[in-house]
Amino acid sequence: MEKIKVAVIGAGGKMGTRTSNNLVTKFPDKFDVKLVETFPPAVEKIEKERGLKVTPVQEALDFADVVIFAVPDTLIQKLSAEYVPLLKPGTVFLILDPAAAVAKELTLRDDCTFGVAHPCHPSFFKWQDTEEAYQDRFGGEGGHQDIVMSKICGSDEKFALAQETARCMYRADNAFIMTSEQIAFLEPTLVELLGATCLYAMAETVDEAERRGIDREAAVSFLTGHVFNLSANFLGYLPGKPPVSDACKVAIGLGDRLVLRDDWKKIWDDDVLKKVIATMLHPENPQI
pLDDT digits (tens, 9 = 90+) for 21-38: 999 999 999 999 999 999
Q: Are 209 and 219 in contact (CB under 8 A)?
A: yes
Per-residue DSSP letters for 151-215? EEES-HHHHHHHHHHHHHHHTEEEEEE--HHHHHIIIIIIIIIIIIHHHHHHHHHHHHHHHTT--
Average pLDDT score over residue span 245-257: 91
Cα distances (angstroms) measured from residue 129 to each of 21, 132, 224: 22, 9, 21
> Above 80 in pLDDT, residue 1?
no
Q: Can you tell me the distance from the alpha carbon of 23 to that of 184, in angstroms, rounded to the nearest whole number?
A: 26
Q: Are 274 and 266 in contact (CB under 8 A)?
A: no
Q: Can you tell me the distance from the alpha carbon of 178 to that of 118, in angstroms, rounded to the nearest whole number?
A: 11
232-250 confidence digits (pLDDT tens): 999 999 998 899 999 999 9
Q: Can you tell me the distance from the alpha carbon of 265 to that of 125, in angstroms, rounded to the nearest whole number?
A: 26
> Above 90 in pLDDT, residue 258?
no
CA contacts within 13 A on the Cβ side of 131 = 0
Report residue 71's pLDDT band, with 50, 70 and 90 as the boundaries.
very high
Question: What backbone phi and psi angles, to 5 degrees, belong to 94?
Answer: -115, 115
For residue 186, count CB atoms less than 10 angstroms from its CB and return exposed for 0-12, middle for 13-18, buried for 19 or more: middle
Q: Are 152 and 116 in contact (CB under 8 A)?
A: yes
Question: What backbone phi and psi angles, to 5 degrees, belong to 128?
Answer: -110, 125
Report residue 154's pLDDT band, with 50, 70 and 90 as the boundaries.
very high
> Above 80 in pLDDT, residue 230?
yes
Report residue 264's pLDDT band, with 50, 70 and 90 as the boundaries.
confident
- In one-letter notation, the amino acid at residue 204 is E
In this predicted structure, what is the pLDDT of residue 262?
A: 81
Kindly report the average pLDDT of the chain as a whole number. Answer: 95
Average pLDDT score over residue span 131-152: 95
Report residue 257's pLDDT band, with 50, 70 and 90 as the boundaries.
confident
Q: Classify 134 as helix, strand or coil.
A: helix
> Above 80 in pLDDT, residue 111?
yes
Q: Alpha helix locations (H) across the chain?
A: 14-21, 40-44, 57-63, 76-83, 99-102, 131-135, 156-170, 180-184, 197-211, 216-234, 246-258, 270-281
β-strand pairing of 113-119 with 145-153? antiparallel
Handedness of CA 55, 18, 192, 210 (dihedral sign): negative
Cα distances (angstroms) measured from residue 189 to each of 92, 117, 269: 27, 17, 10
